[in-house]
Structure 1
Amino acid sequence: MNDSYKHFASVYDELMDVIPYDQYVDLAEEAMGPLQGKRLLDIGCGTGLLSVKFAKKGAVVTGLDLSADMLAVASERAGSLNLEISFFEQPMEKMDIPGTFDGAVIAIDSLNYVKEQEDVAQTFRKIYDLLEVGGVLLFDVHSTYKTDDVFMEAPFVFDNGRIAYIWQTEEGDEEHSVYSELAFFVRNDNGMYRRFDEAHYQRTFDTYTYVEMLNEAGFTIERIFADWEDEPPHEESERIFFQVRK
């Protein structure tokens, strides 16, 4: 069992509350049409927040994640809502999922945890093979500006009264990569705080490199936009979105 999110999974949902997941559902519907009956692969699904939203729209959802702890939360969430979602514990670059899909998403910079360029390219090839002709891949990644400039403005601090963290960063070994160390403090019912620490490594590539890898995998680029807006990326965009089709 992968334990990189062993403690983090327990507070993940609260920390991700600011992410506009409903917009991701909207983006998927814009690309794929109504999700009712569509077979959808949620790669890097985490605790299943987005998987559940897709399933509520009538999609037949399969979730994939590297963390057993995250997937345990996701499975419990789906079960509590009587939603039938299949979950697989696999690294995305080695995914081996039965069946084919009408669409796939890699949401909220999950792809940036795949640090080797060949593994990113392999992920695209794996997805391409799993999609039906006409199937859509939608994903987002950190911009190089975010890894090289924004993340280097650390430390970042957060405190909502129940969860607090201190987030330190430093440049990673590869170009456009960042190493993060986070110290979390979670308040218990007795008012005492429990501390746990996380270390994360993410790497991104410039837009042209992603386009090259996608084209080599066989995808047609339909749309590239930034920061949740229907606008092309600029030099200070922080989150780059790709919509591509088989």
Structure 2
Amino acid sequence: MSYEQFAYLYDELMQDAPYDEWVRFVKEKLDKYQVDGKSLLDLACGTGELSVRFAKEGFSVTGVDLSADMLAVAQAKAQEEGLNIPFFEQDMANLEGHGEFDIIGIFCDSLNYLKSDLDVIHTFSCALEHLKDSGILFFDVHSTYKISQLFIDQTFTMAEDHLSYIWNSFAGELPNSVEHELSFFVLDEQTGKYDRFDELHYQRTYSVQQYSAWLEQAGFEILEVSADFQPTDPQPNSERIFFIARKKPS
């Protein structure tokens, strides 16, 4: 999976993403569970949209992502806002050396990009090691319904004067997995011609029960599981599942 070109198109493609909803959701839950600390590790932070928003809300944010290109965009964004956010290039399944935080977030279905069971298990273990006692882990994932019913065998398109794409989704080899084949056509304003960039993205999800079991095995207490930014239990047609888990005191 490559993010070399995608990193510089990502913000435009995601301009309608409900980033402010994520921030609101986290703040409300921190109040609910009486978390006073403000140190936040934003795993798979991408282009830093949420890192910047949390920093502007008074959190002490550290961002980690696997893509150097995504991090370059994030760093430029933080500097433009006058924010001092340290960003690090690292795999969240092999996270090390960042100290302990009050809060860890893995937002925007980033966990679904991990390719194996072990990667998810290792990520939960690494998150536990980087949380203070009673620290809180937030993450959201695509539901199995969304992967199987709303992605697989679907085609999505966008056509603008300066940017167009064709996005085809196919069933992956493993259960509840999907492969996204994306072709972007980006206008070169100097030549008036379009450059084509191709990307292959892979996502996989698991049942609520499986994520819950892995969290508990890692040493977390599950505080709540909800769906689609609503204070309700996941339903058969829920699209995005939210987990909140607390590190058990040692």
Scaled to the shorter chain, the TM-score interval is: over 0.9
State the partner residue of 2:214.
Answer: 213
Percent sequence identity is 48
Superposition pairs for residues 168-179 of structure 1, below 5 Å?
A: 168-179=168-179
Q: Deviations over 1:143-165 (max 9, x none)?
A: 11111121124111122443211
Q: How far, CA to CA, are the matches of 2:70 and 2:48 in structure 1?
A: 8
Q: Deviations over 1:17-36 (max 9, x none)?
A: 11111111111112224999
The one-letter amino acid of 2:193's match is M
State the partner residue of 1:229.
Answer: 230
Q: Deviations over 1:133-188 (max 9, x none)?
A: 12111111011111112112411112244321111111111110001100011223
- Maintained 8 Å contact 1:112/1:141: yes
Distance 1:219 1:36, change over 3 A: closer
The one-letter amino acid of 1:217's match is A
TM normalised by structure 2 equals 0.93
The one-letter amino acid of 2:203's match is Q
- Maintained 8 Å contact 2:104/2:138: yes
The one-letter amino acid of 1:75's match is Q
State the partner residue of 1:77.
Answer: 77
- Maintained 8 Å contact 1:36/1:57: no
Q: How far, CA to CA, are the matches of 2:63 and 2:36 in structure 1?
A: 17
Q: What SS does the corresponding residue of 1:72 show, helix, strand or coil?
A: helix
Aligned length: 244
State the partner residue of 2:181.
Answer: 181
Q: Deviations over 1:171-225 (max 9, x none)?
A: 1111100011000112233543221010011111011000000011111111111
Q: How far, CA to CA, are the matches of 1:213 and 1:194 in structure 2?
A: 43
- Maintained 8 Å contact 1:5/1:69: yes
TM normalised by structure 1 equals 0.94
Superposition pairs for residues 1-246 of structure 1, below 5 Å?
A: 4-33=2-31, 38-190=38-190, 191-246=192-247
Q: Deviations over 1:70-107 (max 9, x none)?
A: 00111111112121111111111001132210001111
Q: How far, CA to CA, are the matches of 1:60 and 1:97 in structure 2?
A: 17
Q: How far, CA to CA, are the matches of 2:174 and 2:144 in structure 1?
A: 12
Q: What SS does the corresponding residue of 1:169 show, helix, strand or coil?
A: strand
Q: What SS does the corresponding residue of 1:98 show, helix, strand or coil?
A: coil
Q: How far, CA to CA, are the matches of 2:41 and 2:188 in structure 1?
A: 36
Q: What SS does the corresponding residue of 2:212 show, helix, strand or coil?
A: helix
Distance 1:165 1:200, change over 3 A: same
RMSD between aligned residues: 1.7
- Maintained 8 Å contact 1:32/1:103: no
Q: How far, CA to CA, are the matches of 1:177 and 1:59 in structure 2?
A: 34
The one-letter amino acid of 1:108's match is C
Q: Which moved more, 1:206-215 or 1:185-194?
A: 185-194
Q: What SS does the corresponding residue of 1:233 show, helix, strand or coil?
A: coil
Q: How far, CA to CA, are the matches of 1:36 and 1:69 in structure 2?
A: 33
Q: How far, CA to CA, are the matches of 1:232 and 1:97 in structure 2?
A: 36
Q: What SS does the corresponding residue of 2:98 show, helix, strand or coil?
A: coil
- Maintained 8 Å contact 2:180/2:201: yes
- Maintained 8 Å contact 1:113/1:201: yes
